[in-house]
Chains A and B, each alone.
Chain A
């Protein structure tokens, strides 16, 4: 059963083709890596997928329970409501809010009480707020951040900020999770732990994950399939072993040794 199907996706800024004619097919439950040299257009693909940019042409179909829906050109919040969540390469937490609030905000789309209840604090407010906090704590526990729930996000160490970004994305209850360089800036031990966490997440929450990562050890270890982007185009896709020995990929990385990982 497919979860995501990207067809002929193209985005140009002025005359520059940031992404051109990209096709990506993703099955439900897959963990796919998206790699490529700097400026290859990986993050642009994420921005197109999450509605931050509108594609110049092409379609993005997202499948929920086997039913497909074209989501290109929808607003980011609408795409999030469909069940696509993401993290950001350059951490974009709500810095001046607490860890708990960061997660609570991401739960907003499932909140049922209305404006009236929020102004008057009717019983439905107390009931649901309590549930929200409980769910948040549960999620924070999973990521071992529960003891920091009242800390401001900006005061967390770097690795924990990256983790909180994932918690926040998870709080939106996604079917498809887009991780933009989750291991960036982590030391080998931390990124090893993160790798395990991502693999575990997928199983536990029945997720499909699309992952941008520079750390080849992470990508090669956990991804079933890998798409390689260069100059906005897909130059290869396949299992990690195939990618490692692909001539075009090696050329694109020229000097960066894929085999080393």
Chain B
């Protein structure tokens, strides 16, 4: 048993380091040029956003439409700090405080609103993120509608990797723990979960707060990479963007979210100059997936090595029969 656990940890470490090194080399030899690097950053930020929203919506079953609001808090806090303290320490402090600020707001908003069911919660979170946007529009320190720029750039591939891999690992670890299972049981049947001793409100708030924290990180990374932020970047549509990724990948699948984040980030990069078409495409993806494959690409399954083994077995089995 212990060996299996250790080996799964080893596998994780190996595959992560491989990803890091390969991308680093590709950047070094300029196959991933500066244009593609921006796409890479978008992918990483979207992965963080999608995985953390999946924790709230896919695993805990609480429909949130306010993820962009939390993201904007992280972005603004980090921007304001690094613009005054343009050092690497300032950047780390900015990311941390940004995430914490987002988590605090998430906690304060979640505590009362998470008592609401399904679609009411969706609307309440949407309202919350609109309120946050309006506040940023009107504050002096955020420079209103014009936004903040230039924000000192600190984020490069190693940082992107640390934050992305870190978020994914923390959240997938959490989901494999008893606390994570408590969250999942709320999605499955809140009344039964309560009757089995799960404090539903507590775990909803935890999922919401953790999700907000990670969205704050994503926002901070965004601000520091793209060096320009304004309130309109974090409107309703940004929340929808993230939701599309989560739904496409599968509500309740971390690897699905990662896959879908990569896919949709690439698609939207290619469709950049056709904004309307991109949104029409997103709309169609949402509707078609919900009608024909509501579980998304991956359902609630995860990509794993044993899956490839199974596939291999099935193929050889078929060959054997013919």
Contacts and interface: CB of A to CB of B under 8 A. Distances in A.
A–B contact (CB under 8 angstroms): yes
B197 A109 contact: yes
A92 B194 CA distance: 12
A67 interface: no
A121 B173 contact: yes
B199 interface: yes
A168 interface: yes
Of the candidates B173, B176, B181, the one having the most CB atoms from chain A within 10 angstroms of its own CB is B181
Interface stretch (A31-39, A110-118, A197-205, A246-254): A110-118
A15 to B, nearest CB: 25
B195 A105 contact: no
A80 interface: yes
A172 B198 CA distance: 10
Contacts of A117: 177
Binding site secondary structure of chain A? helix
B177 A118 contact: yes
A97 B195 contact: no
Contacts of A141: none
Contacts of B176: 121
A223 interface: no
A76 B195 contact: yes
Interface in A95-146: 95-97, 101, 104-109, 111, 113, 115, 117-121, 125-126, 128-130, 132
Contact of A81 (B174, B179, B197): B197
Interface in B51-90: none
B206 A105 contact: no
B196 A106 contact: yes
Contacts of B273: none
Binding site secondary structure of chain B? helix
A52 interface: yes
Contacts of A76: 191, 194-195
A169 B194 CA distance: 12
B197 A119 contact: no
Contacts of A78: 199
Contacts of B300: 96
Contact of A50 (B174, B182, B195): B195
A115 B179 contact: yes
Contacts of B179: 108, 111, 115, 118
B178 interface: yes
Contacts of A168: 196
B200 interface: yes
B191 A130 contact: no
Size class of A's contact patch? 35 or more
A77 B178 contact: no
Interface in B183-203: 184-185, 188-189, 191-200
Given A77-B200, A126-B5, A119 B195 contact: no
B170 interface: yes
Contacts of A233: none
B117 to A, nearest CB: 15
Contact of A113 (B178, B185, B192): B178
B11 to A, nearest CB: 14
B1 interface: yes
A75 B197 CA distance: 9
A240 B196 CA distance: 31
Nearest to B177: A118
Contacts of A94: 184-185, 188-189, 192-193
Contact of A80 (B170, B185, B195): B195
A77 B199 contact: yes
A118 B173 contact: yes
B180 interface: yes
A94 B88 CA distance: 47
A222 interface: no
A224 to B, nearest CB: 26
Interface string B196-229: 1111100000100000000000000000000000
Contacts of B178: 104, 107-108, 111, 113, 118, 128-129, 132
A108 B197 contact: yes
Nearest to A112: B178
Contacts of A108: 178-179, 181-182, 196-198
A86 interface: yes
Contacts of A81: 197
Contacts of B188: 94-97
21 contacts: A52-B194, A75-B194, A77-B198, A78-B199, A80-B195, A93-B189, A94-B184, A94-B185, A94-B192, A97-B188, A105-B182, A105-B184, A105-B193, A106-B196, A118-B173, A118-B174, A120-B170, A125-B177, A129-B178, A130-B1, A132-B178
Given A75-B199, A94-B185, A126-B5, 4 more contacts: A85-B196, A101-B181, A106-B197, A120-B170
Closest 8 CB pairs of A and B: A118-B177, A109-B197, A80-B197, A94-B188, A76-B194, A92-B192, A111-B178, A106-B196
Interface of B: 1-2, 5, 170, 173-174, 176-182, 184-185, 188-189, 191-200, 206, 300
